[in-house]
Amino acid sequence: MYNHTALQLQGNKVSIRQHLIYWILPLTVNLLFIGMYFFGTPAMESFVSPQLHHEYGALEMISLLILIAAGIVAIKSLDRNDSWLLQTARLSCIAFAAFVFLEEQDYGMNYIDFFNHEAGRVPDSPRTFHNSSYYAPILKTTLYSGVVLLCGILPFFVKYLPKQIAEIIPSKMMVTTIICLFIIPQIAFNLNYQFHFTGNKSLDNNISEFDESVLYYLFFVYTLELNPVFKSYFKARMKVIVDESSPGVLTKAK
């Protein structure tokens, strides 16, 4: 019986599951919605975004579902034994998910309008921060700057960061989701405004709905990365190997 073991890393290759989660899934779903809205039948267009109001379409609903899922994952991730910074990041995700969820449905006013037969009515004044001409640019600039910094830049410098900070930095694979975040809205924008494939025109002034769905998906994946179960699922597997040459000494296998 050998008295020495060592841990050997099973490579750092990215699995097909990671590709599926980080970029294949959001790209495929959004391209499907783009195809249905711009090139589909009237029924397909209405499924994605009805003429009555885009807030009642599948594109909006899937964004709300993603936010709910992100909030649940963040809540399930809470663990008082983890570092205060990691806990703060999770609590911040919960607060963000709740805030954006309420903003996206105008704090419930969209449904009140629907039942009052006033769906699609343009309110006299903005009912949310993200529809305010003053707050909207500030929120968008701050949010996208934070996304690029946190998910697009810091993952490449994580080895230089303190351990507690490194815990809340996403993996480099998140860069692929950011690429989707910039590609998908550009496709929708060009189809709508450059090539005049306008669908049923319900998204003429809200074509940004396509980038919001990817943005919320990126947020959802980030909450998954803060979840210990998901994080360990994607860690490179370790294999115990036997080393007879140095009995009693634990060394890292090459």
For 120-150, what is the HEC assignment?
CCCCCCCCCCCCCCCHHHHHHHHHHHHHHHH
Give the domain extent around 116.
23-235
Residue 1 is assigned to a structural domain of this protein: no
Residue 57 is assigned to a structural domain of this protein: yes
Residue 247 is assigned to a structural domain of this protein: no
The radius of gyration of the chain's CA atoms, rounded to the nearest angstrom, is 22
Prediction pTM value: 0.84
Residue 5 is assigned to a structural domain of this protein: no
Q: How many domains does the chain have?
A: 1
How many percent of the chain have pLDDT more than 70? 85
Taking only the tens place, the pLDDT of each residue in 79-122 is: 999 999 999 999 999 999 999 999 998 898 888 887 887 776 76
